[in-house]
Structure 1
Amino acid sequence: MPSRTSLPESAAIAQFGNELRRLRNLSDMSQKDLGQATGTSKQQVGAIERGDRRPSKQFAELADKALEAHNALLNLWPGAKQAQPWWLEKFVELEAKAQVINEFQAQAIPGLLQTEGYAKAVMGAAFPPPSRRSIEDLLKARLDRQKILRRDRPPLALFVVDEGALRRTAGGKSVMREQYKALIEAAEWPFVQIQVLPFDRGAHAAMEGSLVLLTMTHAESLVYAETPGSGQVITDARIVADCHQQFGALRSLALSPAESLDFIASL
């Protein structure tokens, strides 16, 4: 890969290649077949799948159509202008379609519940420091995500928030007061439930990090996991089942919704 390619772009090219291979295999299509459908060679398709070749927009469009990907490949095309990181785009699309959202956060208030001031403070704390334009774009994208909780038929959203996330001051006392009030208001919505996991409950099932579960249908669920600078959607049935059990254990260990509201109000 050319040395002038930036690391984020290299990661996006690799992600596109991995998704292209996955969709091609699901469609039972050979590299040669896909090459014919996109006007390229078998070797070029292989190079794109390995991340050795940057796909053109035309290839992304033709491959998306040939594999019936419904714009999934086009949205992953490395040249696409996206307000959010490429690895978050797929999750956001799935989140908007979910019937149930189960989320545990240990370090920060869940993104769907963040106020503008709190979100801006969290984004501004990133290192290396992001540009002002980048923060503005990310902030707009995050606030747009929150609209799913206010639509006519919102998903059932169950949140467990660690006490540490509530006590960690982001943006100053006034920003935190506004954030606490927003949490109390959100907890009154019929489709939202917030529980606090206090320090005195000790060790718990999600000590390794945050957890997001999306239930798409009665028979289909998935897990979203983030690592620094990246993230992935996991559909492995065993892992998803284990995570559902973890979340259930967290809910049983946390304060009740009513107790949680009292806790947040006390802050």
Structure 2
Amino acid sequence: MRTDHGGGGGTNGTEAELSDSLKTFGAVLKALREESGLTQEEFALRVRYSAAYVAKIEQGKRFPPADLPGRAEEVLGAAAVKVLTAAAKSLTRRAGLASWFRQWAGVEEEAISLYAYECRAVPGLLQPEAYIRAIMDRRLPPVSEEHVERQVTARLDRQQLFVARPNTTFSFVIEQGVLARRMGGREVTKHVINHLLDVGNRRNVEIQVMPIVQEDHCGIDGQLYLAETSAHQWIGYTEGQRSSNLISAPKDASVLLQRYGRLRAQALDCRATVKLLEQMRGAL
């Protein structure tokens, strides 16, 4: 699997630049926090993030959320926030992703609706860290530990979309077989199911499981992603072995939209999905 699901291609200069920029931003935030006489725990409480999350931002291991400067203004002061905002301008979430995925990532960040059907893996936006690492551990050819850490960071940073885009509608249809496979083992699968149940509680997120037995299944052509832009244009995205396809022609995007609508109707509804996930978790 590639891009959204596997984390992207090999190491490149852009990824190294992103890593350095994240560390620089983290160092700036730490210096400003310490200058204000605050511990990580005190700062985290005031900006309404967990202390662990703030620690990882300061260590350059997490992409800072877009609203961090705004939340920090009352805590650090306007002058400090100007410095923080300037440091943030050197960052781009897309730089840590595979080159062929970045264009879709840009669409994804601005979308007012995001739909995903997956028959191969849990969608990248829904992958907990343990699952991401399980995927990376099985990648061929093998990758370095440094590369794994960059890809884990990039994937988890993308998931900040749920926080940054509270008015975006997210819809996911996932094949039951993806979870039944138990990628990474029982404990990893428990993490995945717990994460799906947790994210599915968000008001703007719908998660549906496609049962293994479904005679009217229309997903034979494989996974698909759809995004609605602010101009109400639909754009599709599909992916194969070391390749991807951005679909912007209205007639082709319409085909994917029709198929996704049918897939949603064929999958279990959200309540039935929760019941099935709880049953699967209990059987582990």
TM-score range for the pair, normalised by the shorter chain length: 0.5 to 0.7
Match of 2:97 among 84, 101, 106: 84
In the alignment, the residues of structure 2 paired with residue 153 and residue 259 of structure 1 have an alpha-carbon distance, to the nearest angstrom, of: 24
In the alignment, the residues of structure 1 paired with residue 146 and residue 215 of structure 2 have an alpha-carbon distance, to the nearest angstrom, of: 41
| 1:200–1:152 CA distance, 2 compared to 1 (3 A) | closer
Q: Which residue of 1 aligns with 2:183?
A: 170
SS in 2 for 1:240: helix
TM-score, normalized by length of structure 2? 0.64
Give the drift of 1:119: 1.1
Q: Which residue of 2 aligns with 1:58?
A: none
Q: Which residue of 2 aligns with 1:226?
A: 239
**What code does the residue aligned with 1:97 have?**
E
| 1:127–1:203 CA distance, 2 compared to 1 (3 A) | farther
Match of 2:228 among 215, 230, 236: 215
Contact 1:101 1:214 in 2 (8 A): yes
Q: Which residue of 2 aligns with 1:240?
A: 253
Contact 1:84 1:137 in 2 (8 A): no
Give the drift of 1:152: 5.8
**What code does the residue aligned with 1:87 have?**
W
In the alignment, the residues of structure 2 paired with residue 82 and residue 154 of structure 1 have an alpha-carbon distance, to the nearest angstrom, of: 25
SS in 2 for 1:222: strand
Moved more, 197-206 or 87-96: 197-206
- The alignment of Structure 1 onto Structure 2 pairs a total of residues equal to 191
Give the drift of 1:219: 3.0
SS in 2 for 1:199: coil
C-alpha deviations, 1:19-74, integer Å up to 9, x for none?
xxxxxxxxxxxxxxxxxxxxxxxxxxxxxxxxxxxxxxxxxxxxxxxxxxxxxxxx
Contact 2:166 2:204 in 1 (8 A): no
Contact 1:169 1:176 in 2 (8 A): yes
In the alignment, the residues of structure 2 paired with residue 154 and residue 171 of structure 1 have an alpha-carbon distance, to the nearest angstrom, of: 33
Contact 1:104 1:247 in 2 (8 A): yes
1:102 matched to 2:115: yes
| Structure 1 unaligned regions, length at least 5 | 1-6, 10-74, 76-80
In the alignment, the residues of structure 1 paired with residue 165 and residue 234 of structure 2 have an alpha-carbon distance, to the nearest angstrom, of: 23
In the alignment, the residues of structure 1 paired with residue 10 and residue 185 of structure 2 have an alpha-carbon distance, to the nearest angstrom, of: 32
Give the drift of 1:109: 0.8
The structure 1 segments of at least 4 consecutive aligned residues displaced by more than 6 Å after TM superposition are none
In the alignment, the residues of structure 2 paired with residue 8 and residue 115 of structure 1 have an alpha-carbon distance, to the nearest angstrom, of: 22
| Structure 2 unaligned regions, length at least 5 | 1-8, 12-90
Any residues of structure 2 matched to 1:1-267 within 5 Å, and which?
Answer: 82-151=95-164, 153-202=166-215, 204-217=217-230, 219-267=232-280
In the alignment, the residues of structure 2 paired with residue 259 and residue 153 of structure 1 have an alpha-carbon distance, to the nearest angstrom, of: 24
Higher relative contact order structure (alpha carbons within 8 Å, sequence separation ≥ 6): 2
Cα RMSD of the aligned pairs, angstroms, is 2.1
Q: Which residue of 1 aligns with 2:31?
A: none
Identity %: 27
In the alignment, the residues of structure 1 paired with residue 136 and residue 241 of structure 2 have an alpha-carbon distance, to the nearest angstrom, of: 14
SS in 2 for 1:94: helix
Give the drift of 1:135: 1.5
Contact 1:148 1:154 in 2 (8 A): no
In the alignment, the residues of structure 1 paired with residue 184 and residue 232 of structure 2 have an alpha-carbon distance, to the nearest angstrom, of: 41
Structure showing greater Rg: 1
In the alignment, the residues of structure 2 paired with residue 204 and residue 152 of structure 1 have an alpha-carbon distance, to the nearest angstrom, of: 31
**What code does the residue aligned with 1:173 have?**
R
Q: Which residue of 1 aligns with 2:39?
A: none
